Structure formats: structure tokens, C-alpha cells
Amino acid sequence: MGMQPLSGIKVIDMTQFESGTVCTETLAWLGAEIWKVERPVTGEQGRYSAVNPGVDNYGFVILNMNKKSITCNLKSKEGVGLIRSLLAEADVFVENMAPGTIERLGLGYEDCRAVNDQLIYASIKGFSRSSPYADYPAFDPIAAYMGGFVACTGTPEFPVKSGISVADSGTGMTCALAIVSALLQRQRQGIGQRVDVAMQDFMIGLGRAAWEPYYNNGKIPPRRVGNGMPLEDVAPAGTYPCAPGGVNDQIHVYCSRAPGNPQFARLCRIIGHEELIDDPRMATPQSRFQYKDELDALITEWTSRRTKTEAMQILAEAGIPAGAMLDVADFDNDDRYLEQGIIVQVDHPVYGPMKMPGFAPKMSANEIEYKPAPALGEHNEEVYGQVLGLTRQELEALRDKGAI
């Protein structure tokens, strides 16, 4: 395996919770050396496990692969001094603390820039620094509501937020992209810079497709159509039950709204209702919407006799867009995802072999070696000793003071 894209890049990771940890894990997968800074004794909040007290939470294990853990008490002058010393050796600093916290610790952008003006300093917050809500606390659902995402999801009567942390993970990956871009700019122009990514801003950008129907009909809020097509009232465009009738035994089917597209005719033949092809009521995607209940019942009659994967295979191989409703168990039990590298298996020292999502992009000149999340303070001697040159006696004295 050749050198990874970010090999040699040193990152001070002051993050916790999903948005920040996704950002630094992405950088770690690309080869950066991540110094994850955690509180002594307890570590970051994501380590806490209600399921297995005394053992790292599964979420922490999944979000902190390939990192090195160092402990530091940021409430002590010695602890802050250690971070300031590491700044001189670092390329990137990432934090997602509550608004104002990092500045109160004496590690704001200007403080860090005074130590290393080549530093890429990245902050993830709920709202941008210029926002009237800049000082408000925020987690994923707050950003989803404030970013226009929830206004577009659910039924006309009732909005529904996503069941996964779109704002958290999406903002984290976007921040990683911005950091890589800033590193490239530093290489070309010799400058460090500040990178700010707000969760609300990311969600607003993620919803750019919602602006088309807004301009089309001028209605506020943008269209909420459940599992239908948000851009236009067309059919078929929905989710249909499959055998054997479990909670996730469903498939989504959508026929293109483009005029003259053959997908609907193909669907009619497959479900055994060729008469619909010449039915004037079904002439266009828009006219079909007026009779969607009748059409959906016929499609349901066909899908309910097949499993979601069987139905998907038949439809997709006929050129009809169809997707089975897959869940975590589906990914875990299908070795093809392991073979493709979408799901990876990591040997954790406590939990043993664990499957979890890996790095989605595939790069022909790079192969990621997935390593388990670090134990708390596992790399204190390596980082403080090798990078800062502290002796074991000096490290013991810092431990005695509660600094690490």
C-alpha cells in the first residue's frame, strides 16, 4: 500500500459527539494522525455506556477508529500548556464545543494562530458565527428543524425528522472536505486559515432541491408528500409492503416523470395489468396521481407476494427504479457489503470482531487499514513523549497534578 493522502498530517482533535468525531475519523481514514484529546479518568462524553458500564459505548467505538487518545485536563494551566505545545507541531485543530467554550479555555482561533500561523483551525457549531442564533446550543434535530430539512419531510399534516443524524454526520464530512481543501491551499499559497462549518448552513444547502417546488408553486413551507415525489404530484411513487410482512419488509417504487418514459409500461406488464398501459386515466405520470389509490392497490397486490429483495431484483432488472428498505441487520447479514468494503470488520480488544460502516469513497491508489478506537489515554506516552519530548518522570508529575 502506498502513502495515504494525508500521511504526515497531525490533527489535534478536540471534538465529541457525532459531528466532530465523524470529521476527524474521516481525516484518520485518509491517513492523518489524530490526537484525540479527552478528559482524564472519564474521557469524552461519547465513551459513556449505559448498556455496558465501564466499557466504551458502541457509538464511541464506531466513531473513533484509527485515532490516538491522549488525556488532558483543560481546566488546568498545565493541561492547556500541553495543547499549546502540541499546536506548534500540528497541522490541523478541530473542535465542536458549545459556543464560547474553546475561547474561555484560551484556545480560540487567534490564540492558536499566535502559536502556529500555518494552522488549519476548524470549528463545527450549530449556527454560524454571524447568525443571530450563534450562541444557541444545538444538536442534530435542532439543526434539522432550523435548516429546513424537517419542513420537507413527513406528511402534509405532520413533519417528521430523519431517524439518522443527517446534520451531524453530514456536517462532519463537509468539514473534513473543507479541511483537506485548506491543506491544499496551504501547500500552494503557504497560508493557514480558519474553517467554520455550521450545522444549520449545511442542512440549508443539503435541501437545495426543495427550492424547485417552492418556485414552482410559491407555497410555504415546501411540499411534504410522505413517500411521494417531492418535486411533482406523480404516480407511481411510493412505498409498498412485501412478504413476509415485517416492519421493514417494504420496497420503494418510482417511475420516471419524464414524458414518454417506458418504465410505467414495463411495470404494468410485470404486475400483470397490461390494460393500464392504454388506460387514458394512466396516460401521464400526473394523471396517474389522480388515481394513485387504485394504482397503489394493484402494485401492493404484486409486491406483497414477494420479498423486498425479490421484488427489487425483478423490477430493477427491468429498468424500473426500485429499492428495498434495508436496515442494519440486512447489512450485517449480507457478506457482500464486507466484500465491497462498505462494511468493515474491526477486532476490538473488549468487544471482539465488530462490523461497522467504513469509508464510502474508494480510491484506486489507497487502501485503508481500519484500526479499533483507542483506549482512554492509550497514546499519552507516544504523543507527549515522542512529539513533545516529555520524560516518564515528567508525565508522572503531570498525572499527579491531574493535568493528564
C-alpha cell at 87: 499546536
Strands 352-357 and 343-348: antiparallel
Residues in the chain: 404
The question of whether 400 is a catalytic residue gets the answer no
Which candidate, 64, 75, 8, 67, places its Cα nearest to that of 40? 75
User: H or E segment at 27?
Assistant: helix 17-29
- CA distances to 63, 265, 298, 314 from 269, rounded to whole Å, are 46, 6, 12, 12
Residue tagged active-site, from 13, 168, 201, 249: 168
Q: How many CB atoms lie within 10 A of CB 227?
A: 14
Are the C-beta atoms of 83 and 93 separated by less than 8 Å?
no
In angstroms, the CA 309 to CA 249 distance is: 9
Going through 186-256 in order, the beta strands assigned E by DSSP cover: 193-198, 237-241, 250-254
Residues identified as active-site: 168
